[in-house]
Amino acid sequence: MNPELERNVWLELTPRRLLVMTMVLALAFFAAAVTAGTGGPAETARWAYYIIVVIWGSRNAARSVVGEIRDHTWDTQRLSSLPAGTMMWGKLFGATSYNWFGGVLCLAVILASLIGHSGVLVAIIELVYYLSIGMIAQSVALLASLMAAGRRQGHSQFEVFLYQGAGMVAAIAVYAIWSVADPAGSILLHHAPTDFIVWWGRSLDARGFLLISLALFAAWTLTACYREMRIELQMRNGPLVWLAFLLFIGVYVAGFDAWLSGYPYLTDLDAVARRLLLAGSALAALSYVMVFLEPKNRVQYRWLAGRFGAFELGTGLSRLQSWMMSYLAAVALGVVLVAWLGLNRQLGGQGAVGAMLGFFTRDMAIVVLAGTLSRRRTGDFAAAAILFMLYVLLPAIIGGLNYGAGTLLFFPRISDPVWLSPTVAWAEAAVAWAMTISSIALPERQPAAT
């Protein structure tokens, strides 16, 4: 048996705790059965599952590593002979084993009700959904804590709450997506359920498609946890898994192009352009997320520059950060989209996409510059403040002064002439990257001797 999992199970599943969980849930189900207006034991079990497995479980997952750091036992565990996979599974499911014990009791009530009212097939489908939402919430919380540990961030109760919040956001996203085809969830969110989803021009069964999607995303989050655990154990990750994830996200998101056909400004785009736009936007969003999450290290950037300068391309490409690969992939798709729009004589859209790429490139430089200039963890907050100023505050001021043309400095626009907006955007990008490269090239200041 996994020794880390066994250790955590012995700590979590004590006889007294098991008895308490069983008694509390049994009383809750009995109270729901004899009380009118509660929805019965099955509805109570659903809410209990979300509280125990999703909310409480994501907190325990977030604390599984940072708790060890706070207790000064993590360094000892890192020096053990346990491989990354063993450590990851042991932390993820060991620290949450008590939550899953309560979750199993809730699922037993839920499935018994579903089998009696809707049949075995519906019960199996719902089982996969409940397992997926719990696993995704907990693994995202663990992933957030591991990434914070890699950045040597703190482990206060508030920061644990933030890591738990990441898992909660993932769970809310899963719930919202599943509600597209779930009658109960659709009632709560005030929309009618759908039986079919159009993906890559094909009409697919909504529940089957969403179940496969949830399973795939759960697998990706677990893979991300494993790779972050490898980094914590001083192992090196190659680029192939991240590149495979980028390919998966690009193909997956691009398949929903039919959903954009009715949006303003997109009605003139054909299916190819819409798919390129969706895939590029998804990769750009990943670039923004990863450039904020990953450490910005001058030494690493200088090392990369040295490798490319010496034409050691294989070594340099294998050590690119995730945001760099996402950025290059998004820009490549953007260039293809610009060329496609040019072939179809859509010059206005071509200029707008070119400007988007310019501002996107500028934003990457701003985040890297702020991160490399800051000795503390304030660089990312400073970068976020600058982007908020560029995209919200300054355009609002210019709009209030009735100088609409000035927003060309902050937003991609279909301008006349069409080359003006991309020229402005790429000029800003060039200035931002010149400042960033100069900052990275300068030697770091040594603290004054006391």
Cα end-to-end distance, the chain, whole Å: 53
pLDDT of 230 over the 60 cut: yes
pLDDT of 372 over the 60 cut: yes
Q: Give the mean pLDDT of 354-365.
A: 95
In 3D space, the residue among 215, 201, 223, 284 whose CA is nearest the CA of residue 249 turns out to be 284
Count of C-beta atoms within a 10 Å radius of residue 384: 14
DSSP string, 173-199: HHHHHHTTT-HHHHHHTTS---SEEEE
pLDDT of 141 over the 80 cut: yes
Per-residue pLDDT tens over the stretch 26-56: 999 999 988 876 678 999 999 999 999 999 9
> For position 347, what pLDDT does the model report?
80
In 3D space, the residue among 357, 366, 389, 359 whose CA is nearest the CA of residue 435 turns out to be 366
> For position 153, what pLDDT does the model report?
61
Domain map of the chain by residue range?
A: 1-237
Q: Distance of CA 36 to CAs 30, 41, 137, 185, Å?
A: 12, 11, 32, 22
Q: 407 pLDDT band (50/70/90 cuts)? A: confident
pLDDT of 186 over the 50 cut: no
> For position 405, what pLDDT does the model report?
72
Q: Quick one: what percent of the chain has pLDDT higher than 70? A: 92
What is this structure's pTM? Answer: 0.87
Q: Are 123 and 206 in contact (CB under 8 A)?
A: no
Q: Give the mean pLDDT of 235-263.
A: 89
> For position 450, what pLDDT does the model report?
46
Q: Quick one: what percent of the chain has pLDDT higher than 90? A: 47
Q: 389 pLDDT band (50/70/90 cuts)? A: very high
> For position 435, what pLDDT does the model report?
94
- Its sign, for the CA torsion 164, 169, 172, 178, is negative
Mean pLDDT of the chain: 87
pLDDT of 446 over the 60 cut: no
> For position 111, what pLDDT does the model report?
93
Per-residue pLDDT tens over the stretch 274-330: 999 999 999 999 999 999 988 888 888 999 989 988 888 888 888 899 999 999 999
Q: Give the mean pLDDT of 435-439.
A: 92
Residues in the chain: 450
